[in-house]
């Protein structure tokens, strides 16, 4: 009998990080065939993550083009993934999150009448323009999905409120915690990351505190990023911290960061890091400022307070748990909250010891068990399944 095929489509660095443990887990399933398709929406950063996790794509569409816009990217993903579906004939397509790759791939699967599994389903901000276009993308994927792998109970409630059947939803935890724990274990066993970063960036040596920054959201371009950079310049001037900003390769982000922060002594604009290096840098940091979704989930597992450079978040669980604080891109608010964390030891201790609400590192096992039960039921044992995340 032909094995049912699970087609996993990824295109960006965040998708690759969060789907890596799912790929590894499904490739151990003897009775399911797993095919990985890379759209390469982010070419270099995707390749970097695949190398870190020792993953090779079975199909590489290589769709990244210089100065591509969302319209052309969406059309290319839709067309090329449509052809892959016709060739591979999967039983189910797995996509992740809220990228253009996920949205267009799920639409292609919907047109081909193929089941769709959405990993990290049910996240919502309630504002279609924040983040843009991600809020639209995740809603569009959920509209056509068959299986919903919700990371939290709140995400499950969002789906139920939109009329999704509870039988289609499995609360799994977030796969980024699986990826984080895999990476921490690997770096503990193999070492070398700290030495490499110390050699490349001597300012990381010693015991000076590090403020780690990531900022690249489209809705923050121009005014928002410029305001963030002005706040970082003030923080660097008024404290003894080392501000480390791995700058996204987007030319708009590069231009704004360089124009405000170049030449500031204790601000370091560096190239994006590979995932193990970035995890090490998160552990080395005292505070993280970010507009990323994944970092809101990862950093609490490392005991790091997070200032979210957005006005809304699709991760309200983090707000309720007190692991993140929304500061938007207002220069004064960023400065005030960051310096408070740096100067108020009791406040810092409170914000850095909250429980992470995003899972136990076994989300990939839950997803694999679900897919085995659905697509290879004759080989599924109930005793192998994990309960949904409580």
Closest C-alpha among 290, 315, 314, 299 to residue 354: 299
Annotated active-site residue 98? The verdict is yes
In the set 80, 248, 315, 366, the catalytic residue is: 248
Q: Could you tell me the pTM of the whole model? A: 0.87
Domains of the chain, each with CATH number or no CATH: 5-174+359-384 (3.40.50.2000), 201-351 (3.40.50.2000)
In the set 216, 268, 310, 372, the catalytic residue is: 216
Q: What are phi and psi of 372, to 5 degrees?
A: -65, -45
User: What whole-number distance in Å separates Cα of residue 119 and Cα of residue 312?
Assistant: 21
In terms of DSSP H, where are the helices of the chain? 13-26, 43-52, 70-88, 100-111, 134-144, 153-161, 175-190, 193-200, 223-238, 251-261, 275-284, 294-298, 316-321, 331-343, 345-351, 363-375
In the set 15, 29, 115, 120, the catalytic residue is: 120
Residue 192 confidence (pLDDT): 86
Residue 191 confidence (pLDDT): 78
CB 121 within 8 A of CB 156: no
Annotated active-site residue 54? The verdict is no
Q: How many residues does the chain have?
A: 390
Residue 330 confidence (pLDDT): 94
DSSP assigned state of 281: H
User: What whole-number distance in Å separates Cα of residue 385 and Cα of residue 94?
Assistant: 19
Q: What percent of the chain has pLDDT over 70?
A: 95
Q: Which residues pair with 243 in a beta bridge?
A: 211, 267
31-to-1, 4, 172, 369, 378 alpha-carbon distances in Å: 10, 8, 22, 12, 9
CB 145 within 8 A of CB 117: yes
Annotated active-site residue 277? The verdict is no
Residue 219 confidence (pLDDT): 61
Annotated active-site residue 216? The verdict is yes
- The token pair at 151 is 């990371």
Residue 131 confidence (pLDDT): 87
Annotated active-site residue 345? The verdict is no
In the set 98, 142, 291, 297, the catalytic residue is: 98
Instruction: Identify the segments of the chain with pLDDT beneath 70.
Output: 1, 216-222, 381-390
Q: What DSSP line would sit under 24-57, residue for residue?
A: HHHTT-TTSEEEEEE--SSHHHHHHHHHHTT---
Residue 214 confidence (pLDDT): 93
Residue 383 confidence (pLDDT): 47
Residue 189 confidence (pLDDT): 80
18-to-148, 175, 182, 193, 198 alpha-carbon distances in Å: 15, 5, 11, 21, 27
């Amino acid at each position: 009998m032909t094995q049912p095929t699970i087609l996993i489509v990824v295109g960006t660095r965040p998708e690759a990080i969060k789907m890596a443990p799912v790929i590894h887990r499904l490739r151990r399933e003897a009775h399911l065939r797993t095919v990985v398709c890379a759209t390469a929406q982010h070419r270099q950063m995707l390749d970097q993550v695949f190398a870190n996790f020792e993953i090779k794509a079975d199909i590489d569409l290589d769709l990244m083009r210089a100065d591509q816009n969302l319209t052309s990217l969406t059309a290319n993903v839709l067309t090329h993934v449509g052809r892959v579906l016709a060739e591979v004939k999967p039983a189910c397509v797995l996509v992740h999150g809220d990228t253009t790759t996920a949205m267009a791939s799920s639409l292609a699967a919907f047109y081909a009448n193929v089941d769709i599994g959405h990993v990290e389903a049910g996240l919502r901000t309630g504002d279609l323009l924040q983040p843009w276009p991600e809020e639209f993308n995740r809603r569009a994927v959920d509209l056509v999905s068959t299986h919903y792998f919700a990371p939290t109970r709140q995400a499950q409630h969002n789906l139920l409120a939109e009329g999704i059947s509870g039988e289609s939803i499995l609360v799994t935890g977030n796969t980024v915690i699986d990826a984080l724990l895999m990476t921490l274990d690997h770096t503990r066993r193999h070492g070398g990351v700290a030495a490499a970063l110390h050699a490349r960036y001597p300012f990381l040596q010693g015991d000076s505190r590090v403020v780690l920054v990531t900022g690249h959201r489209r809705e923050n371009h121009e005014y928002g990023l410029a305001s963030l950079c002005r706040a970082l310049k003030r923080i660097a001037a008024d404290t003894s911290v080392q501000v480390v900003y791995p700058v996204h390769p987007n030319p708009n982000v590069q231009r704004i960061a360089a124009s405000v922060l170049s030449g500031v002594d204790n601000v370091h604009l560096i190239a994006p890091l590979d995932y193990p290096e970035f995890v090490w840098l998160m552990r080395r940091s005292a505070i993280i400022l970010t507009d990323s979704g994944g970092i809101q989930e990862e950093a609490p597992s490392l005991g790091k307070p997070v200032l979210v450079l957005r006005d809304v978040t699709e991760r309200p669980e983090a707000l309720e748990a007190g692991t993140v604080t929304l500061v938007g891109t207002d220069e004064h608010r960023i400065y005030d909250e960051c310096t408070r964390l740096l100067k108020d030891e009791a406040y810092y201790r409170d914000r850095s010891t909250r429980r992470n609400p995003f899972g136990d590192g076994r989300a990939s096992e839950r997803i694999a068990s679900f897919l085995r039960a659905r697509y290879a039921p004759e080989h599924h044992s109930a005793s192998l399944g994990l309960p949904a995340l409580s």
